[in-house]
Amino acid sequence: MSHTSTRRDADVFGPDSLLRPLVHEARWGLAVLRATLLEAAHPQIGAALMENSTFLTHPWRRLRNTAMSARRLLDPDPRVRDREAARINRLHARIAGTDAQGRPYDASDRDARAWVVATLFDSTVTMCRLSGDALDADAMRRLYDEHRTFLALIDGTADHLPATLREFWPYYDHVVEHVLENNEAVGVILYRLFTGMPAPPVLRGHPAIWAAGRAVASPLATAITIASLPEAFSRRVALPDLPGARTLMQTTYLGAALATRHLPQSWTRVDFLMGLLDPSHDGPWETLRRQAGKAAALVRLLTPAGDDGGSQATRSADRFFTEVLDQTGDGCLRWPDLAAMAREIATRLDLGERDEERLFQAYAAWWSELQAALDSDGDGRITRDEYAAAAARLPGTGLIKIADVLFDVTDTDDETIDAEEYRALFRTAFHRDLEGGGDGCSRSAFVRRFVSFMSGQQHSIAYTSLLASG
């Protein structure tokens, strides 16, 4: 399929689209969670998730980025859709490797991509059915055509999904029964993701409340997810049939549907939910946050934490390793951890191809320096102890290159980042609406702050929010 025909076909995401309104509804999260589990059971996708994804260590960040990307891909403006599709393709092109069983995986694999879209379609149909809004035959065909168009948008062709809805169901059943597997990613999502879920930003200052709530919600979320899965899949991966789970699942889906129908529309949208979970986002807490002190927030964002003799400002290399560097949560530092940082920055700042490539090259240069200094056995892994023992003596050329890229995408005129440009950078990254003035930040000062943070020597709220937020 040519790029021109893809753009023309993608115009189905107009006012009459069935899919586009759903991505703005909070209840669609139920469908996305179900789809994610079915995706993870695919050998290619499961391996890519376990080796490269930060979904376990930073689930809230992943949720926010997924929601943002879905909105861009279904935007009424074809230029926004094309830009996001190109960005996703560039990021996926960098994710490839070999799993623990020696099988190659590639995030650009077209069969795997088709399966991702297939799970989203089936899970959306399931959500509508369980919510009491079962689609009629015509609506289901339209929804399927929209998903095929969605695939064509990101892959250039929809040929890896069956052409008609009638052909889709045999294809779907075949993959469930003969391709999917009970792999590590499935177990992690079901039994570790919920139980180890870090607190959302709004509750990070109340760990006891979050721990109590999570202890109750975690088994419920697992039961609801399992009960919503196809029976053939549950049998294949030997999932337990939990007593009362189906009733709980149906009640949850119906409750979400009733809330969507009867509550004010603004209350049932993803943006509202994200605003509740993260007061730094535009949402119901925004006015209160502003009243709490705009000037103080600006000072905290633009400057590293003050030095009170080293007891608070200087974060230990060990803690920094855990909170910032180990993005994938496997206890060691590898290239996928640094690549995850680059992906996060490129995604949040919506970098173009040239700046994104510069950013990845800078991170690659830093990884080469880390390997040369710390990876003595050449296994591509750096342990926490190895990093902590040598953090202060590490070379900084790669970090300087990363800081230069960030400076260049922020400064628009005079080799000085003024307060407005700094606010623009972190508003784009963190959706904070900060006001106030401030002295200009030179390139050297910007680089010094960034290198100090990334080497684990000094704390910075801004960069912690970007790279260490859940």
Q: pLDDT digits over 299-320, tens only?
A: 333 344 444 333 333 346 677 7
For residue range 388-435, what is the model confidence (pLDDT) as tens digits? 777 667 767 888 999 899 888 887 777 887 777 776 666 554 444 334
Q: What is the pLDDT of residues 217-259, one digit of tens each?
A: 999 999 999 999 999 999 988 898 888 999 999 999 999 999 9
Residue 438 banded pLDDT, cuts 50, 70, 90: very low
Model confidence, pTM: 0.77
Query: What would the mean pLDDT of 339-366 be, rounded to a whole number?
Result: 88
Q: Is the pLDDT of residue 135 over 80?
A: yes
Instruction: Encode the chain in three state secondary structure.
Output: CCHHHHHHHHHHCCCCCCHHHHCCECCHHHHHHHHHHHHHCCHHHHHHHHHHCCCCCCHHHHHHHHHHHHHHHCCCCHHHHHHHHHHHHHHHHCCEEECCCCCEEECCCHHHHHHHHHHHHHHHHHHHHHCCCCCCHHHHHHHHHHHHHHHHHHHCCCCCCCCCHHHHHHHHHHHHHHCCCCCHHHHHHHHHHCCCCCCCHHHCCCHHHHHHHHHHHHHHHHHHHHHHCCHHHHHHCCCCCCCCHHHHHHHHHHHHHHHHHHCCHHHHEHHHHHHHHCCCCCCCCHHHHHHCCHHHHHHHHHCCCCCCCCCCCCCCHHHHHHHHHCCCCCCEECHHHHHHHHHHHHHHHCCCHHHHHHHHHHHHHHHHHHHHHHCCCCCCCEEHHHHHHHHHHCCCHHHHHHHHHHHHHHCCCCCEECHHHHHHHHHHHHCCCCCCCCCCEEHHHHHHHHHHHHCCCCCCHHHHHHHCCC
Mean pLDDT of the chain: 81
Does 50 have pLDDT greater than 50? Answer: yes
The predicted pLDDT at position 237 comes to 86
The structural domains of the chain, ordered by start, are 3-262 (no CATH), 294-467 (1.10.238)
